[in-house]
Chains A and B, each alone.
Chain A
Amino acid sequence: MPKVKIPTPLRQYTGGSSEVVVGGATAGEALGNLASEHPDLKQHLYTGDGKLRSFVNVYKGNEDIRYLEGQDTEVADGDEISIVPSIAGGRCR
């Protein structure tokens, strides 16, 4: 079961956890399971039509899954999936 590392802005939707172990044989499955287990997370990861949001990057280890097999990237036990959203600091609006 892969581990998903949760970035600070999204931890409020995982009950404060910075790391969540989920089931899944691919990155897509793991993230899907993560979103099912933590429904408030869904809109921050996915658009209305179920695509991964473009300002949220997903890494298997230290490689962006965009350059691997995307959502079909295989993940094994203990593999680390990281969600890295864009942050800008500071200004409201």
Chain B
Amino acid sequence: MQTRQPLVESPNGALELSNEEIARYSRHLIMPEVALEGQKLLKAAKILTVGTGGLGSPLALYLAAAGVGTIGIVDFDVVDESNLQRQIIHTTSDVGRPKVQSAYEKIKDINPNVEVRVHEEALTSENALEIFEAYDVIVDGTDNFPTRYLVNDACVLLGKPNVYGSIFRFEGQASVFYAKEGPCYRCLYPEPPPPGLVPSCAEGGVLGILPGAIGTIQATETAKLILGIGEPLIGRLLLYDALGMRFREMKLRKDPNCPVCGENPTVTELIDYQEFCGIPQAVTAEQENGVPEITVGELKTRLDKGEDINVLDVREPHEYEVANIGVKLIPLGELPQRLAELDQDEYFVVHCKTGGRSAKAVKLLQDAGFLNVYNVKGGITAWSEEIDPSVPKY
């Protein structure tokens, strides 16, 4: 029933299934498209999920259930409360624990036959090739551009398929980047957006259920590649619109001029991806994002002293409703039109949720002639963590 070459070598006699496994996988075994041969292919397969978060959670759960023999997990993070809204492999009792430990236990609980290899480290240009080498399929479940380009390039250099998924608010994308047969991620997006131009998690948010759909699509594609059945998303970009509940598909082509997978590649080894994405590394004590800063500790001290400081909140009204420190609110988008409400000669301190938007606001005010403007480093989140825990974190 195979329509393409399975990704994994057929183990034939080399791999047997125990009676327990046969009972477990019965619903696979009675389908001609999988059958005993296919189940053995799944057992012989080694897949790596980069990230055990929103996308990695359903992926790891379903592939464990399906009987993939080896599942590797890369994640350096610990479980945070705010993860529980969508990272369904982690539960309330896991808060504070390393994600890889939590994931390891859930995978083994679902299916003890799975060998789980834990990589509790950040994926970098120094370790990516070595980590990826042992696996047949790499699944990109990451949440930032530098790592996506790193995963892509490493997969192209090693000749491995990269099962891609990404999400934002109510939309998702999925594809399979396999340079041997089609385009890679760089063929689709040669350059990342400069930092600050695309809304990030704090400003974007995501419907918690959404990565479930995309992660499960990634799991499906991974299984199809292993089994050599169906048509994988190679050369196709699946677009998922959860609000309209519509799926659309775009044709993707391999770019002959792609610097990594094209006819004359210029990228033949892993590069500095932070630099590639324009993320500055050197940060002085006082300035980040090029704007003057003040810590929440300093701000508190000065307010307690009775200093004449104007604190400005540049978040959205719906965020203000969730948590605020009782100061004037002018959403960032409205600031240019509402500058007249502020006195240029006064001392201003600007905050948002974590410090990104407020940095933009400070630059805007500086350009408009305000001389004494400072960015609150860490935003209201830092205020809640360090000064006043009664202010909710969200």
Our pick among B171, B191, B204 for the contact of A54 (Cβ within 8 Å) is B191
A62 vs B248: C-alpha distance in the bound complex, in angstroms?
8
Whether B250 lies near A82 (C-beta < 8 A) is: yes
A36 contacts the other chain (CB 8 A): no
Pick the interface stretch among A20-28, A70-78, A85-93.
Answer: A85-93
Our pick among B54, B197, B251, B252 for the contact of A90 (Cβ within 8 Å) is B54
Instruction: Fill in one digit per residue for A46-59: 1 if any B CB lies within 8 Å of its CB, else 0.
Output: 00000001110101
Whether A86 lies near B251 (C-beta < 8 A) is: no
Whether B195 lies near A62 (C-beta < 8 A) is: no
B145 contacts the other chain (CB 8 A): yes
Q: Which residue of A lies closest to B381 (CB)?
A: A92
A84 vs B253: C-alpha distance in the bound complex, in angstroms?
15
B201 contacts the other chain (CB 8 A): yes
A59 vs B253: C-alpha distance in the bound complex, in angstroms?
12
Whether B143 lies near A91 (C-beta < 8 A) is: yes
A88 vs B141: C-alpha distance in the bound complex, in angstroms?
9
Whether A89 lies near B168 (C-beta < 8 A) is: yes
Whether A93 lies near B143 (C-beta < 8 A) is: no
Instruction: Fill in one digit per residue for B174-212: 1 if any A CB lies within 8 Å of its CB, else 0.
Output: 000000000000001111110101111110101000010
Closest Cβ–Cβ distance, residue A56 to chain B (whole Å): 8
A9 to chain B: which residues have CB within 8 Å?
A: 168-169, 198-199, 204
Whether A63 lies near B251 (C-beta < 8 A) is: yes
Interface size on A, residues (CB 8 A): 27
**CB contact list, B223-250 vs A, under 8 A:** 237, 239, 241, 243-244, 248-250
B: interface residue count bin = 35 or more
Question: Known interface pairs A9-B204, A54-B191, A93-B356. Does A87 touch B173 (Cβ–Cβ under 8 Å)?
Answer: yes
Closest Cβ–Cβ distance, residue B318 to chain A (whole Å): 13
A85 to chain B: which residues have CB within 8 Å?
A: 193, 198
Whether B168 lies near A8 (C-beta < 8 A) is: yes
A29 to chain B: which residues have CB within 8 Å?
A: none
Whether A87 lies near B250 (C-beta < 8 A) is: no
Instruction: Fill in one digit per residue for B253-278: 1 if any A CB lies within 8 Å of its CB, else 0.
Output: 10000000000000000000000000
Question: Known interface pairs A57-B189, A89-B206. Does A84 touch B168 (Cβ–Cβ under 8 Å)?
Answer: no
Whether A93 lies near B250 (C-beta < 8 A) is: no
B124 contacts the other chain (CB 8 A): no
Question: Known interface pairs A55-B193, A62-B251, A84-B239. Does A93 touch B200 (Cβ–Cβ under 8 Å)?
Answer: yes
Instruction: Fill in one digit per residue for B160-171: 1 if any A CB lies within 8 Å of its CB, else 0.
Output: 000000111111
A7 contacts the other chain (CB 8 A): yes
A43 to chain B: which residues have CB within 8 Å?
A: 197
A90 vs B171: C-alpha distance in the bound complex, in angstroms?
13
Q: Which residue of B lies closest to A53 (CB)?
A: B193
Instruction: Fill in one digit per residue for B116-135: 1 if any A CB lies within 8 Å of its CB, else 0.
Output: 00000000000000000000
Q: Which residue of A lies closest to B252 (CB)?
A: A64
Our pick among B173, B189, B200, B243 for the contact of A55 (Cβ within 8 Å) is B189
A84 to chain B: which residues have CB within 8 Å?
A: 173, 237, 239, 250
B57 contacts the other chain (CB 8 A): no
A18 contacts the other chain (CB 8 A): yes
Whether A92 lies near B354 (C-beta < 8 A) is: yes
**CB contact list, B31-89 vs A, under 8 A:** 53-55
Whether A86 lies near B193 (C-beta < 8 A) is: yes
Closest Cβ–Cβ distance, residue A78 to chain B (whole Å): 16
Question: Known interface pairs A54-B189, A55-B191, A57-B188. Does A88 touch B143 (Cβ–Cβ under 8 Å)?
Answer: yes
A90 to chain B: which residues have CB within 8 Å?
A: 53-54, 142-144, 200-201, 206
A44 vs B199: C-alpha distance in the bound complex, in angstroms?
11
Seed contacts A57-B188, A86-B198, A90-B200; 6 additional CB < 8 Å A-B pairs = A9-B168, A62-B251, A67-B253, A86-B193, A89-B54, A92-B354
**A-B residue pairs, 3 tightest by C-beta:** A90-B143, A87-B168, A92-B200
B→A interface (CB under 8 Å): 53-55, 142-145, 148, 166-171, 173, 188-193, 195, 197-202, 204, 206, 211, 237, 239, 241, 243-244, 248-253, 279, 333, 354, 356
